[in-house]
Structure formats: C-alpha cells, structure tokens
Amino acid sequence: FKAILDEIIKDPKKVQTLDHLKKFLDAVVDDKIVLVASRKLLTDLCTTYLTRLSSEQAKEVALYALERIAARAISFEDQVGLYRNFLADIYEREENWREAAKVLCGAPLESAQKPLSSDYKLKTYLRIARPYLEGDDPVQAEGFINRASLLQNETRDEELQILYRV
C-alpha cells in the first residue's frame, strides 16, 4: 500500500491525484483490510503524505477521509482526532476560526476503547476555545473553557496551566 501511496503522491499537481487518493482511502477503510494496517496507513497518509499537497487538496482529502471512516469511527478514534487536528491547523492558517472550532469539536474525547489523558482533553478543550475567541464567539469559547477548568487542576504540565490561565 505504501508503494501505491508513494506513486500517487509523486506528482501532487496531477489532476488525478485527488481521485487516486480517494480511491486509496476507499480501499484502506474497507472491512477486508486488517484494522491495524488500516490505522497505520490512515495515520501515515495524514502525517506524511497530506503535508505534500496544497492546503486545498489536503483539506479535500482529509474531509473525505473523515467521511469514509465515520461509519467505523470507534475503530479509528486516534485517526479521527489526527485528521480533525490536521484540518483545524489548515483552517487556523486561513483564519477560518469557525471551521477550525467546528472541526475540532468532532474530535473524540470520551473514548470507548481507551481512556484519554486529562492533559490531552485539557489541551483539546483549550484548542477548541481559541478559534471561538479569535472568531469573536466568546459564548461558545466559554463552554470549552469551563470544561477545561474541570481538568486544569489535574495537570502537572506547566505549559498547559499557563495556557489555561491566558
């Protein structure tokens, strides 16, 4: 699969690149593929390959990936979070604060499969609040700041404590 992905991404300016990446995603999330392999390929696609595309191309592929894994989101919780954070980074660079916050709100924070650390949840709540504040929506931001306030005493991470206070 990685060889196929390398070939697809070799020339990201090709018109067919997005179609090929979408077909690749369709194959990767198919029930016939071992879940461990699917997770690894989805992670690699997001962390290594999408960064080689333009923001518009990467956004389109990441949104498609989220759409494709939605039906099996419980099996791909880490990847859902990864793609949502990736998209939020793009939206923040574009100063599209509402979309950044919206995409982050869909990140799984109450995992059925594995408990997430308080630090991770705190960081995510603060990350969601920031674009709401940047986009002049303090009411929405306050909800996530309140959620963060419940966790801020549990962290030993000084950076997160400072970020919360700011």
Amino acid at 60: E
- 32 CB-near residues (< 8 Å, 6+ apart): none
User: Is 17 among the domain residues?
Assistant: yes
- Establish if 166 belongs to a structural domain: yes
36 occurs within a structural domain: yes
CB atoms within 10 A of CB 119: 15
Domain range for 92 is 1-96
Q: How many domains does the chain have?
A: 2
Kindly report the length of the chain: 166
Residues 144, 126: Cα–Cα separation, whole Å:
7
- Whether 88 and 153 share a structural domain: no
Chain segment 72-117, per-residue pLDDT in tens: 888 999 999 999 999 999 999 999 999 999 999 998 887 657 778 8
Query: How far separated are the first and last CA of the chain, in Å rounded?
Result: 44
CA-based nearest residue to 109, from 99, 101, 117: 117
Judgement on whether residues 18 and 85 belong to the same structural domain of the protein: yes
- Per-residue model confidence as pLDDT tens digits over 26-70: 999 998 999 999 999 999 999 999 999 999 999 999 999 999 999
Residue 24 sits in the same domain as residue 86: yes
